[in-house]
Amino acid sequence: MTMTEPPEPSATIQPLKLQEEEIDLSDLHWTDTGVLALFWLLAFVVFLQFFTRYVLNNSFAWTEEVARFLLIGVTFVGCIMATRKQSHIAVEFVYRWIPRGGRRFAQSVIDVTSTAFYLVMAFLSAQIAGRTQQMMASMDFPKSTVYWIIMAAFLCMAAYAAWNTWQHLRSGTSRLIDPEDYADDIRAID
């Protein structure tokens, strides 16, 4: 039997060196505090529900209903941030084969349509809120408050969409019109 020599130090396995990426919060705006506050309030209520149900074996009755309404709030108030950042989903695949003039026309149609959609949805939300007379089942709190918050969110989305429309018409460009100009702004998923 022969003994093998130990490997040379340069051939040994080097430890894995992880490099942390810097967290970029530059795209956050003061108007995003509402959705962040609702999100953390939702997280607290869900934790409270979990703790009281599975640890104390006696859950609070109101946590499930409040968590549901907070989730609705996070959804619609979060859409304000998505509208401000122009990060709502769009089918960009077709834009590759449309000439620039067609892309600019399509962007204008999309901007005007989305602004009108947000305004109509705000109007309908106000109608529903005005007709809702029920109180929450577990708390003495009106359900119409949820619809008023949704209406306010749609009005904010309409304001940001109108501002985006104005910016696109004034500058003549956007992510959909000239995607190559905005390629550096798009974060890689990998």
In tens, the pLDDT along 102-121 reads 888 988 998 999 999 999 99
pLDDT on residue 3: 66
pLDDT on residue 10: 59
Q: Which of 1-15, 131-145, 158-172 has the lowest mean pLDDT?
A: 1-15
As a whole-number percent, the residues of the chain with pLDDT over 90 amount to 48
pLDDT on residue 45: 95
Q: Which of helix, strand or coil describes residue 5?
A: coil
Name the more confident of 140 and 42.
Answer: 42
The answer to whether residue 77 is domain-embedded is yes
- Measured distance CA(179)–CA(186) in Å, rounded: 10
The answer to whether residue 122 is domain-embedded is yes
Q: Which of 66-80, 82-96, 145-159 has the lowest mean pLDDT?
A: 82-96
pLDDT on residue 186: 56
Q: Which of helix, strand or coil describes residue 138?
A: coil
Structural domain boundaries enclosing 62? 30-180
pLDDT on residue 188: 47
Name the more confident of 8 and 107.
Answer: 107
- Measured distance CA(6)–CA(4) in Å, rounded: 6
pLDDT, one tens digit per residue, over 161-189 is: 999 999 989 988 887 777 777 666 555 44
The answer to whether residue 185 is domain-embedded is no
Q: How many domains does the chain have?
A: 1
The answer to whether residue 14 is domain-embedded is no
The answer to whether residue 162 is domain-embedded is yes
Burial group, residue 15, by CB count within 10 angstroms (0-12, 13-18, 19+): exposed
| CA angle (24, 89, 181) in 5-degree steps | 60
What value does the mean pLDDT of the chain take? 86
The answer to whether residue 9 is domain-embedded is no
As a whole-number percent, the residues of the chain with pLDDT over 70 amount to 88
Residues in the chain: 190
The answer to whether residue 51 is domain-embedded is yes
pLDDT on residue 76: 96
Cβ distance 95 to 103 under 8 Å?
A: yes
**Residue 8: pLDDT band by 50, 70, 90 thresholds?**
low
